[in-house]
């Protein structure tokens, strides 16, 4: 491999590179993921405009000697070295490398890292599930305490101390936790490949062999034992021998405030997760269907950022336009899904360009077919034609006009202005100036995490460095044939270069892949939480029906019907469920409001998530209660009155 030659295509022509080293893949989670590393000395040759102040597109990694770097310190270091006309327009941020993977959300990073917000949410969800399992254990253990009352009474008669009984019950709880931990680890190992495919994140179990993690597992087992087992141990060990033999311990009845509170707690958590899940799905659908200010249907993006493509650009456009599947074609410097917009220092022509008056704005180079291809509308003025001379026209959105101090509600003033900016062709400055020809209606050229930023569209010069993408609009109903025809045409012009094309709507939806995975994960965990909640309800409902068998028999003898008996149980458990709703709904609303605030554009939080979660939970609870109490409610009164 060493010494092999690679050809890199570039806007200034192909360049030969030599392989000088092979680097091992980074181990563990990191934002530094690459396929090829190219030296900065080579980059200076490939893209000489990097060596100027108009292209601030690099991250600088600094190894310190123990001194703490601050943004103010870096700013004071760089200000004297910044050109006068850019004074005050450059700011610098500092971030620890260990924070980048989880806490960073900056532009043009190597690789999008994990979201610390989502990690915290998943940690809370995992904690909720563990608590719900503990609640089930506590409720089922204490509700069936009558079955162990005789054992406790006998052991106390023969001299057992209460501390010995508590120790016994805690050991039993620990064994249950230990077996559950072994089962959980086994399921984790078996489910690891599925989790990797689902989340798209590599997982390893190397941490299971570390001493630190094993200590945490041990502490967790002890903590769960105390959390789930201590209260039942106190209840079971507290029986008086005489009460135990009579099976009349006051703690053994089904009506326990502690147990009732735990049932309410369970349903509150289930409602919280279910409501959050429905709200998350609603927000994801809102992001996918929101009007972006342009039509994304049947748009295909094709990357052409190499000299060979640009040299044949006009011929290729003519060939593609002749295809019956193609509606229109536009040449752009970037496309909305790439989020790679050139940032230049724009200035109003004819105004004194004092230090700091240049305005740094994102820009997009387009041709005359851009507005038609994207079905985009102007608020005022006229669109741009194909570049045919030395003067470049500009289109502004409202935010860009405001950055220059112009009023978007006074379009005549804006359309009388001229703008200019300077870019570098190698080390040579090139200035483009021209009139403001139109004011754009707002459109979203970045993800909906961000509000609409100022943006300027300028006429792209054919064959320049800014002809990086083709946007091809296909005719409806011809998407498959259109992509095949596009690939055939591409191979004719570029037999050695693979086609890099994708549908715009697919790429736009992939911007919210993290949210979609979060929603799918929430569905999974919400189902588990509801299942845990209903499992606890199964045990309590069955035991309640068992304890009240004689009562039901007496009621039936007195003329009560099965629906009336079931209604008694519905009334008892509905109080717990409704209290769970009252607690869970406000918590879910707070969480959803906080999560939605991270989006610049968000759905209106209406009653649907709360109604869906509450209605589904109530329906499942009624089915569970009915299934577990039906036998006791329909039993022959003679059998019920004989029941012991």
As a dihedral over the C-alpha atoms of residue 39, residue 43, residue 44, residue 47, rounded to 10 degrees, the angle is 180
CA quadruple 175, 181, 182, 184: dihedral positive or negative? positive
Same domain, 60 and 197: no
CA angle 527, 530, 536 (to 5 degrees): 140
- Residue 16 placed within a domain: yes
Same domain, 225 and 263: no
Beta-carbon contacts of 398 under 8 Å, excluding residues fewer than 6 positions away, are: 379, 408, 439, 440, 442
Q: What is this structure's pTM?
A: 0.75
Q: What is the arithmetic mean of pLDDT over 95-123?
A: 73
Over residues 583-609, the pLDDT tens digits come to 999 999 998 998 888 888 889 889 999
Report pLDDT digits (tens) over 281-308: 999 889 888 888 898 889 999 888 655 5
Which of 546, 527, 529, 528 lies closest to 628, judged by CA? 546
559: alpha, beta or left, given left = phi > 0 and alpha = psi -120 to 50?
A: left
Does 143 score more than 70 pLDDT?
Answer: no
Number of domains in the chain: 4
Domain boundary among 83, 103, 123: 103
Answer whether residue 478 shows pLDDT above 80: yes
Residue 194 within a domain: yes
Question: Is residue 376 situated within a structural domain?
Answer: yes
pLDDT in the model for residue 163? 80
Any domain includes 473: yes
Torsion angle, alpha carbons of 577, 579, 583, 585, to 10: 60
Last residue of a domain, one of 496, 526, 545: 496
Q: Is residue 108 part of a domain?
A: no
Q: Helices marked H in 328-456 — which ranges?
A: 370-373, 398-403, 411-415
Q: Are residues 267 and 413 in the same domain?
A: no
The predicted model gives 550-564 an average pLDDT of 80
Pairing of strands 501-503, 455-459: unpaired
Q: Which domain holds residue 576?
A: 115-144+252-289+511-644
Residue 371 burial (CB < 10 Å; 0-12/13-18/19+)? buried
Query: Has residue 124 been placed in a domain?
Result: yes
Co-location of 165 and 176 in the same domain: yes
121 shares its domain with 266: yes
Please tell me whether residues 69 and 121 are part of one structural domain: no
Report if residue 502 sits inside a domain. Answer: no
Separation CA 344–CA 364 (nearest Å) = 10
Based on the domain organization, do 527 and 394 belong to the same domain? no
Report the alpha-carbon angle 153-158-164, nearest 5. 75
What is the band of 252 on the pLDDT scale with cuts at 50, 70, 90? very low
Q: Same domain for 134 and 157? A: no
| Bridge pairing between strands 455-459 and 359-366 | parallel
Contact 356, 87 (CB under 8 A): yes
| Cα separation, 412 vs 415, whole angstroms | 5
Read off the pLDDT of residues 608-641 as tens digits, 9 standing for 90 and up: 999 999 999 999 888 888 887 777 777 766 665 6
pLDDT of residue 589: 94
Q: Reply yes or no on whether the pLDDT at 341 is more than 50.
A: yes
Query: To the nearest whole number, what is the mean pLDDT of the chain?
Result: 80
- Rg (alpha carbons) of the chain, rounded to whole number: 34
For the segment 428-457, the average pLDDT, to the nearest whole number, is 86
Same domain membership, residue 336 and residue 472: yes
Per-residue pLDDT at 253:
46
Secondary structure element (H or E) that encloses residue 440, with its range: strand 428-440
Give the confidence band of 196 by pLDDT, cuts at 50, 70, 90. confident
Predicted local distance difference test score (pLDDT) of residue 436 = 92
300 falls within a domain: no
Whether residue 264 sits in one domain with residue 229 = no
Q: Are residues 127 and 256 in the same domain?
A: yes
Please tell me which residue, 185 or 514, carries the higher pLDDT value: 185
Q: Which residues of 610-642 are buried (b: 16+ CB within 10 A; e: fewer)?
A: bebbbebbbebbbebbeebbeebbebebeebee
Q: Are residues 124 and 150 in the same domain?
A: no
515-520-525-527 Cα dihedral, nearest 10 degrees: 140
Select from 72, 103, 134 the last residue of a domain: 103
Name the 3-class secondary structure at 459: strand
């Amino acid at each position: 491999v060493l010494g092999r030659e690679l050809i890199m295509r570039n806007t200034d022509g192909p360049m030969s590179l030599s392989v000088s080293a092979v680097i091992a893949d980074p181990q563990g989670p990191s934002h530094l993921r690459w396929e090829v590393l190219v030296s900065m000395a080579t980059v200076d040759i490939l893209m000489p405009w990097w060596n100027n102040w108009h292209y601030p597109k690099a991250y600088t990694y600094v190894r310190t000697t123990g001194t703490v770097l601050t943004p103010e310190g870096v700013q004071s270091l760089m200000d004297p070295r910044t050109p006068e006309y850019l004074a005050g327009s450059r700011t610098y941020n500092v971030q620890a490398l260990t924070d980048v993977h989880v806490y960073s959300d900056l532009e043009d990073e190597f690789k999008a890292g994990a979201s610390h917000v989502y990690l915290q949410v998943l940690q809370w969800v995992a904690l909720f599930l563990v608590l719900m399992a503990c609640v089930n254990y506590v409720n089922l253990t204490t509700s069936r305490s009558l079955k162990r009352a005789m054992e406790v009474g006998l052991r106390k008669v023969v001299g057992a101390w209460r501390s010995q009984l508590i120790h016994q019950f805690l050991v039993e709880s620990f064994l249950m936790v230990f077996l559950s931990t072994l089962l959980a680890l086994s399921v984790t190992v078996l489910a690891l490949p599925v989790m990797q495919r689902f989340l798209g994140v590599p997982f390893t179990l190397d941490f299971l062999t570390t001493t630190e993690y094993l200590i945490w597992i041990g502490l967790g087992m002890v903590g769960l034992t105390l959390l789930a087992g201590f209260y039942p141990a106190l209840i079971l060990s507290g029986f008086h021998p005489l009460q135990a033999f009579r099976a009349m311990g006051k703690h053994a009845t089904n009506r326990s405030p502690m147990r009732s509170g735990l049932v309410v707690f369970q349903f509150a958590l289930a409602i919280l997760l279910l409501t959050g899940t429905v709200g998350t799905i609603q927000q994801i659908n809102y992001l996918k269907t929101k009007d972006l200010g342009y039509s994304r249907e049947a748009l295909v993006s094709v990357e052409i950022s190499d000299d060979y493509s640009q040299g044949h650009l006009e011929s290729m456009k003519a060939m593609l336009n002749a295809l019956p599947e193609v509606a229109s074609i536009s040449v752009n410097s970037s496309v909305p899904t790439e989020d790679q917009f050139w940032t230049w220092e724009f200035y109003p022509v004819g105004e004194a360009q004092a230090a700091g008056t240049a305005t740094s704005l994102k820009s997009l180079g387009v041709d005359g077919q851009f507005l038609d291809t994207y079905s985009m509308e102007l608020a005022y003025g006229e669109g741009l034609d194909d570049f045919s001379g030395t003067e470049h026209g500009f289109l502004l959105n409202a935010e860009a006009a405001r950055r220059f101090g112009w009023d978007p509600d006074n379009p005549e003033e804006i359309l009388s202005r001229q703008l200019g900016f300077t870019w570098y062709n190698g080390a040579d400055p090139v200035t483009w100036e021209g009139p403001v020809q139109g004011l754009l209606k707002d459109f979203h050229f970045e993800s909906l995490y961000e509000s609409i930023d100022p943006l300027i569209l300028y006429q792209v010069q054919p064959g320049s460095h800014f002809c990086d993408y083709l946007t091809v609009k296909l005719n409806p109903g011809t998407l498959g044939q259109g992509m095949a025809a596009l690939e055939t045409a591409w191979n004719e012009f570029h037999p050695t270069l693979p086609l890099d094309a994708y549908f715009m709507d697919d790429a736009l939806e992939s911007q919210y892949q993290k949210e979609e995975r979060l929603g799918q994960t929430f569905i999974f965990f919400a189902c588990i939480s509801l299942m845990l909640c209903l499992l606890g309800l199964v045990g309590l409902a069955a035991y309640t029906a068992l304890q009240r068998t004689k009562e039901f028999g007496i009621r039936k003898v007195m003329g009560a019907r099965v629906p009336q008996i079931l209604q008694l149980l519905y009334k008892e458990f509905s109080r717990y469920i409704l209290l769970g709703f009252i607690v869970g709904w406000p918590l879910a609303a707070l969480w959803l409001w906080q999560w939605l605030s991270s989006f610049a554009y968000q759905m209106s939080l209406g009653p649907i998530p709360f109604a869906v979660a509450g209605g589904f939970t109530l329906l499942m609870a009624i089915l569970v209660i009915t299934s577990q109490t039906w036998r006791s409610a329909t039993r022959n009164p003679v059998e019920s009155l004989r029941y012991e």
